[in-house]
């Protein structure tokens, strides 16, 4: 079969390296899934300290297939008195990811998104608060932003920032942190996730409660942003559009991801 010993040993070496790489990948994936699930579980526990959380059925969007092999699992909840929660997780083998997004409709709060990526031994953690309210100049809303800046951004300012490229939606991002960590910092990474969530939820306790008219206006602001994402594009939005098509992506955004349809019913 092999014409020489050199060729034989070369093939063995390649297979050995490939096998080791696969084994390392499996070990990393297992550790990353554990770290991700623990983070989400702790985050849900924090959320339930502040609000009653009721699960929705995500129906056809519970599991979204990408490229035939990548599966995004989606859980959706109603946060009674605040808004919609979507939690998307995926395991791609070499990368695991959670997107934890609170879209507020019932209080004048920024939209909160926590996107945490586990790439082998690396961690990319995105904490973002989008100013999607009718009036961002109110004293109450400015105090909330100051609170988020003081208790999240300043607290974790020593963690290295990830490179950032400009996007059209940056105008909505007053409070943002894109952090670079590794698997030796998983406790710190989980703390960043949980602290960001808890500070946000604590701030929401004193936020202005929307009247029905206020809620309708805030819903329109959020829906416009959702539509603009589809029309103007975004990193993850483009992936969904390419795989699902524009109209199915819009349907997913309205029903589950942002949950705007739930507040028009």
Instruction: Encode pLDDT of 111-166 as tens digits.
Output: 999 999 999 999 999 999 999 999 999 999 999 999 999 999 999 999 999 998 89
46 confidence band (pLDDT: 50, 70, 90): very high
110 confidence band (pLDDT: 50, 70, 90): very high
14 confidence band (pLDDT: 50, 70, 90): very low
70 confidence band (pLDDT: 50, 70, 90): confident
Query: Does 214 have pLDDT greater than 90?
Result: yes
Query: Does 3 have pLDDT greater than 70?
Result: no
Query: Does 11 have pLDDT greater than 60?
Result: no
**Domain spans, the chain:** 35-263
Q: Which residue has the higher pLDDT, 74 or 66?
A: 74
pLDDT on residue 27 = 64
CATH class of segment(s) 35-263: alpha beta
Q: What is the DSSP string of the chain?
A: --SSHHHHHHHHHHHHHHHHHHHHHHHHHHHHHHHHHHHHHHHHHHHHHHS-EEEEP-GGGSEEEETTTEEEEEEEEEETTTEEEEEEEEE-SSEEEEEEEEEESSBS--EEEEEEEEETTEEEEEEEEE--SS-TTSHHHHHHHHHHIIIIITTTTTSPBPP----GGGGGEEEEEEEEEEGGGHHHHHHHHHHHHHHHHHHHTTSPBP-HHHHHHHHHHHHHHHHHHHHH--HHHHHHHHHH-HHHHHHHIIIIIS-GGGGT-
Residue written as tokens 């699960």? 55
């Amino acid at each position: 079969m092999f014409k020489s010993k050199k060729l034989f040993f070369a093939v063995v070496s390649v297979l050995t390296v490939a096998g080791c790489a696969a084994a390392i990948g499996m070990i990393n994936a297992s550790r990353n899934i554990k770290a991700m699930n623990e983070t989400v579980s702790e985050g849900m526990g924090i959320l339930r300290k502040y609000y009653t959380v009721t699960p929705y059925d995500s129906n056809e969007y519970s599991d979204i297939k990408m490229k035939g092999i990548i599966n995004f699992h989606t859980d959706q909840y109603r946060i009674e008195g605040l808004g919609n929660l979507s939690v998307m997780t995926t395991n791609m083998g070499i990368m695991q990811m959670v997107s934890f997004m609170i879209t507020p409709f019932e209080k004048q709060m920024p939209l909160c998104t926590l996107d945490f990526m586990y790439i082998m031994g690396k961690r990319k953690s995105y904490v973002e608060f989008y100013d999607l309210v009718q009036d961002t100049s109110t004293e109450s809303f400015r105090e909330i932003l100051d609170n988020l800046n003081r208790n999240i951004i300043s607290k974790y300012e020593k963690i290295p920032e990830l490179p950032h490229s400009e996007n059209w939606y940056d105008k909505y991002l007053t409070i943002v942190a894109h952090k670079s960590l590794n698997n030796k910092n998983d406790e710190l990474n989980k703390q960043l996730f949980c602290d960001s969530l808890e500070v946000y939820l604590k701030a929401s306790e004193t936020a202005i409660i929307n009247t029905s008219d206020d809620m309708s206006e805030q819903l329109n602001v959020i829906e416009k942003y959702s539509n603009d994402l589809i029309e103007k594009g975004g990193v993850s939005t483009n992936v969904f559009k390419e795989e699902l098509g524009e109209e199915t992506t819009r349907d997913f955004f309205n029903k589950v991801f942002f949950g705007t349809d739930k507040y028009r019913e």
